Amino acid sequence: MTAYYKAYTFKRDDAWETIDCYWNSPLVYWPRKSIRVDPPLPLRVTIWGRVVDESQAGWINYGGASAMLLHVVQAKGTAGQRIRAEIRDEPVIEEDVDLSRDPNERT
């Protein structure tokens, strides 16, 4: 499973800010993706300004056929707060995830 990481620092208090965008051509396979932020914060996915999915768990799935339209992933934090986002090329399945454990922690 491919993953990449990005850091983001919020500019405003209690406002939705874009942390990732995703678009896919209508001529190719439409994979699902996931994003997980640390520390966990509210996330949402919008298409053309309309909210299509929300999560309070600190992770959310996006992509698929509707990614022919631009998906914008947003988070809400406080000004100056820095988060780490982990973006994966496959969706998260809620039953398979222990959200209390750091995915990079070795057992």
Asked if residue 78 is part of any domain, the answer here is yes
Domains in the chain: how many in total? 1
Encode pLDDT of 34-88 as tens digits: 999 999 999 999 999 999 999 999 999 999 888 889 999 999 999 999 999 999 9
Distance of CA 71 to CAs 12, 84, 104, Å? 22, 19, 27
User: Among candidates 71, 73, 66, 68, which has minimal Cα distance to 20?
Assistant: 73
Task: Provide the 10 A C-beta neighbour count for residue 5.
Answer: 10
What is each CA distance from 39 to 45, 49, 52, in whole angstroms?
18, 25, 23
Structural domain boundaries enclosing 46 = 3-92
Q: Give the domain CATH number at 19.
A: 2.60.120
Asked whether residue 98 is domain-assigned, the answer is no
Domain assignment of residue 97, yes or no: no
Higher-pLDDT residue of 71, 25 = 71
pLDDT per position as a tens digit, 88-101: 999 988 765 555 55
Is 101 within the bounds of a domain?
no
Whole-model pTM?
Answer: 0.83
Residue 103: inside a domain? no
